[in-house]
Structures are given as C-alpha cells and as structure tokens.
Amino acid sequence: MINWQEQKIQSILNAESVSALFSTLSEITKHLGFDYCAYDMRLPWPLAQPKGIALNNYPVDWQQRYAQQEYVKIDPTVTHGKRSTLPLVWSHRDSIVNASFWEDARLHGLHAGWAQSRYDARGISGLLNLSRTDDSVSSEKLRETAWKLSWLIDVVHEGLSRLLIRKHLPEALNDLTAREIEVLRWTADGKTSGEIGNIMGISDRTVNFHISNTLKKFNTTNKTAAAAKAVMFGLL
C-alpha cells in the first residue's frame, strides 16, 4: 500500500503545472508543522538574465514589506543558501545577526523557520524557505524534522526544474543530431572548423553546415554562443 508520503512524492514529480506542484508542497509543509512556504528557483540561462520563478504563500503584507525594503539583499536565509546547502534553522529569539530584519519578520507573524538550498549538475539552484507563526517549538524539535525536509527539497527541486526546463528549453533542441552535438562539443573546446573537420574526418563545408543548423535551433548568431548554450542545457 502506498503511504501518504509516497503519494505526495508522486504528486510533485508528476505535477503538470507549477500551481499544482506548489499546492502539494504547501500541503506537505503544513503537515510538517509550518504555516508558510516559499521556493525560489533559478535556471542558469540565459547568462545575462537567467530565468527563474518565485513561489510563496506568505502573508501579502509581509511580501509587500519584503519587496519594499529589498530584504532579499540582507535576508540571512538567502545569504546562507548561497554559501551552503546545509539547512538553517532559525528562531527570532536566537537570531542576533540582522536583528532588525528578524524583528520585522516577527511583527508580521514569522517566529521560527527552516531554510535549505539545492544545486544540481545542470546548474539549477533552488531555495526552500519555511516559517511558523508559533515559536513554542524549539530549534532542536525543528532539527528533528530536517531529514524529512531535506527529502522534500530534493523532490520539489526535481519536479519544478522539470516543469521550467520544459517551458524554457527550445523545442528545436530535441532535434539536434549526433553530428551536430559532436561539432558543438569540439567547438566548445575551442577547435576551428578546419580542426573539427580533421578530427571528424569531414570537410570544412560539412562542419559549417552543422554549425549553421545549430545556430538556427539555438536561435543564436554565432557558434560560441551556441556552444555556451549547449553546455548550459546539459547537452554536452
């Protein structure tokens, strides 16, 4: 018999929309004792303006306050998530650094919480942030839940990244041929068309033909940009 936890795992991994996934995440975190949850994800492309998504069910007044004060620049949970993938357990009672931030959070009903970041081999980053309105639960008690939350972030990260990649990855990339990928791989290594031709045993004209095709599929203007995209998309 499939238990509740396994059902929720499948609900997240098989979610067909971001809203459905976040609804399940909210339900799970509520079950684990947290009133609010947030998940921020960033894709590694495009380099100048990476795609991303920010999901949360925090009180609207806190969301507005957070944006107005640009708290993302000083939020200790965000800073910690950039430096470490270990969980951060916090309570306003023992949060001394950035005391004014924690006091403002407390005034908006956020008394204790947990945060952990996730990075994968594709360069996709994520941060799960959870908060409680009740601080009667000790930090030790919150840490007892850490293994479930570490499991949860892995599942959410995989499910959400699948949805975002499907949305932002150009469909044409699915049609890349083995030859085109090989040419891109040598291009990424800095080889010229002539060198690639010698390595692959084909003419310069054929190499350039493959490069031209990949430029169209990647919607790029030069082979350097195409090779960079291929690396970011994990195609090489």
Give 180-205 pLDDT, tens digit per residue: 999 999 999 999 999 999 999 999 99
Q: Which of 156, 165, 180, 187 is nearest to 38 (CA)?
A: 156
Sheet holding 88-91, edge to edge: 52-56, 36-42, 125-132, 112-119, 88-91
Give 123-171 pLDDT, tens digit per residue: 899 999 999 998 766 667 766 788 889 889 999 999 999 898 877 766 6
Structure token pair of residue 214: 């990949």
Say which residues have a Cβ less than 8 Å from residue 59's Cβ, sequence separation at least 6: 36, 108, 109
The last residue of a domain, from among 112, 139, 168: 168
Same domain, 182 and 206: yes
59: domain CATH number is 3.30.450.80
Say which residues have a Cβ less than 8 Å from residue 120's Cβ, sequence separation at least 6: 157, 161
pLDDT at 49: 77
Same domain, 9 and 113: yes
pTM listed for this prediction:
0.79
Which residue matches tokens 């969980």?
87
pLDDT at 209 exceeding the cut of 70: yes
Same domain, 197 and 130: no
- Of 71 and 168, the structure prediction assigns the larger pLDDT to 71
223: domain CATH number is 1.10.10.10
Contact 87, 146 (CB under 8 A): yes
Same domain, 156 and 200: no
Same domain, 154 and 192: no
Long-range contacts of 177-180 (CB under 8 A, 24+ apart): 177/210, 177/213, 179/210, 180/210, 180/213, 180/214, 180/217
Total tally of structural domains belonging to the chain: 2
Same domain, 162 and 175: no
β-pairing verdict for 52-56 and 125-132: unpaired
Q: For residue 177, what are the domain limits?
A: 171-232
Same domain, 54 and 123: yes
Same domain, 14 and 103: yes
- Of 61 and 230, the structure prediction assigns the larger pLDDT to 61
What's the mean pLDDT when you consider all of the chain?
87
The last residue of a domain, from among 168, 187, 209: 168
